[in-house]
Amino acid sequence: MPMTEDLTTQTKPTSRQQLVVQRKNDIQLMENELKKMLPQSLPSDKFVRTVQTAITLNPDIAEAEKNSVLNACMKAAADGLVLDGREAALTIFNTKVKKNGQDTWVKMAQYIPMVAGIIKRVRNSGEVSRLNAFVVYKNDVFRVTYGLEMTLEHVPNFSDPGEAIGAYAVCRFKDGEVDFEFMSTKQIEGIRERSKSKDKGPWQTDWSEMARKTVIRRLAKRLPVDSDIARVVQHIDEDYDFQPSGQAVTPHDEDGVVLENQENAKPAKARGSAAAKLNPKPKQPEPGPVIENEPQDHEAGDASSNPPGDTDEPEDII
């Protein structure tokens, strides 16, 4: 007798697999809207395929709140960055929201620019000819001096680098002038403590990438770039909680650096009028679910190494 296939034994797709397909279709339906926001140099079909691949590789994205995923994609498109994990990435974290008077944990998606994406946008600004960042290790030859004549020398020890002691970002302007920013490991870890993804994702798997992004982020705020680049830098800040609500906060700037003498503090020197766009006034947030921050106990210590933490539980990054 001829062999026939029993269709009843075929495995049916799980609810999670169905959700992955549904979310990928949602992204496909958004292509026309995304095309309006993307730069001409970035085809909309490429952007959509990249997002769909990210959802396939990380199904947690599909399980995140739908609007948060779509909004994250729109922000990345507006900045002209591909969500490939190199130029930009989607982070998933759990946050407690109040719905109908009850507390509910919800997965939310968030778009985060990465090192390659920030460098790409800054270099395209026309004012900066070179921008890069490097991690400094204990056995490297590294000297930095400040004052009227700032100098920086770094000779890596590739055979036996030792542990990381810090990172720096350096840029060269079109007129030949240079600027740089160095942060110690302690300072970088202080910024990490304010991240919603401090215990998972690249902070765990690729610390050097995140250290480089941290110093670039700080240096970028002094660069004479347009408001579009400023928005990219601002999107990095969305991953950090610099002003926890309901807690006494030691005075510090938006980078988490403690302000020891606020009365004599002077504003940072800007390079050109365009630099003023790097710190635009924050827009009023749109109405949304009420997010509660659970009180946490924090041990006393150095403000940069033991900052107040988040209440969100981060998920993996793509």
Q: Specify the 3-state DSSP secondary structure of 315.
A: strand
Q: 10-residue block means of pLDDT along the chain (318 residues)?
A: 53 82 94 93 94 93 93 92 90 80 86 86 80 95 92 95 96 89 94 79 82 88 68 61 38 44 40 39 46 40 39 40
Q: What is the pLDDT of residue 193?
A: 87
DSSP 8-state class, residue 10: S
Predicted TM-score (pTM) above 0.85 = no
Q: Where are the beta strands (DSSP E) in the chain?
A: 88-99, 102-113, 128-137, 141-145, 151-155, 164-173, 178-184, 290-291, 313-317
pLDDT at site 234: 66
Residue 161 is predicted with a pLDDT of: 95
Q: Please give the pLDDT value at position 180.
A: 94
Angle at 90 between CA 313 and CA 245, to 5 degrees: 40
How high is the pLDDT of residue 24? 94
Residue 135 pLDDT: 96
Confidence (pLDDT) at 48: 95
Residue 252: predicted pLDDT: 44
pLDDT for 301 equals: 37
Per-residue model confidence (pLDDT) at position 206: 83
pLDDT at 11: 63
